[in-house]
Amino acid sequence: MKKIARILAVAGLLLLSGCSSEMAKRSAYESMRSKAEMDCRQHPGSACQDSKSYDEYQRSLDRRSEPGK
């Protein structure tokens, strides 16, 4: 019984990791962006970068990787 539970747990984790890798990347990016915005508000004299949404960031990466551009 324990062996079946382990197999099901591993299969579930593999399935979830494949489906949610984009969501994990998006979440990590948004967390870093939010932290940078908070730091910028706390230290107004520092140079603050314009932050892009995850979708804008992904589009800029896609444009860079296109051949001939």
| Selected residue with higher pLDDT from 63 and 49 | 63
For 6-29, how does the pLDDT look when each residue is reduced to its tens digit (9 = 90+)? 887 777 766 666 656 787 788 888
Distance CA 56, CA 10 (A): 34
Q: Cβ contacts of residue 51 below 8 Å, gap of 6+?
A: 33, 36, 37
CB 62, CB 54: distance < 8 Å: no
Q: What angle do CA 22, 41, 59 make, to 5 degrees?
A: 30
Q: What is the pTM of this model?
A: 0.58
Distance CA 63, CA 59 (A): 6
For 26-54, how does the pLDDT look when each residue is reduced to its tens digit (9 = 90+)? 888 889 888 888 888 888 776 777 778 88
